[in-house]
Structure 1
Amino acid sequence: MTDVLVIGFDPHTIPGYDPEPVAAAIAQGSRRFAELGLAEDLFLIDFDELDGRAQAKLTEKLGSKPYDVVVVGGGIRKGPGLLELFQAVVNEVHWHQPAAALAFNDSAGDSADWVLKALEQKRNR
């Protein structure tokens, strides 16, 4: 079984944001993981915990078991003012899951496709 950790924002915690489209895409992505036989763990960051609590929870999650691939969601990479968080997330993954491939998605619904590409790259190296 391939273990995948998907890191993103909990869309229900982002102020002034309609969470439904992202929540639907997350559900679609989870169905796709299941269809492909990939074991998905979802780690959603509460937007109110960007004061360091989220990083501590992520560190704990990354230490809970080995992952074959870790996906860093687009909201963390693309959001204005979130470069410091993105850097912290990538470093935590690097330090705590050095054998995991990294994947980056375009949307929550296409994460599984990017995981497959990352696994192929990992096999071919």
Structure 2
Amino acid sequence: MKLLKQGFGYGVVGGVQLGLDWMIFVALTAAGVATGGANVIGRATAAMLGFWLNGKWTFAENGGKPLGMQHFGRYVITWLSMTALSTCIVVATSRAQGMHAAWMVKPAADLVLAALGFTISKYWIYR
């Protein structure tokens, strides 16, 4: 039951993050910001919200310790890795098929990365 609750919470938080990230990415690239920079800015903005929500709601334990620097350090390592992969995907798509294709590929790529992120979050970041 706990895994189900955490999966649901991670999905809700992730959906909010994905939407926010994507809107920022599209707005910035439409305004002329480079694809890679726009992706990093969108992901960083959404990540700040996601770290806090997942730590306080999704993976919070009754009587558990508050989020600390160890949690944040693990989150940053994971975020940097996932952002590098996401950025490679959207930049390659943009170059090969244009920006509109990158706009469509980004949410799908980030959704796949989020599935991996759940396991990393549950067993490493928020433990």
TM-score by length of 2: 0.28
More strand by share: 1
Query: Which structure carries more helix by proportion?
Result: 2
TM-score (norm 1): 0.28
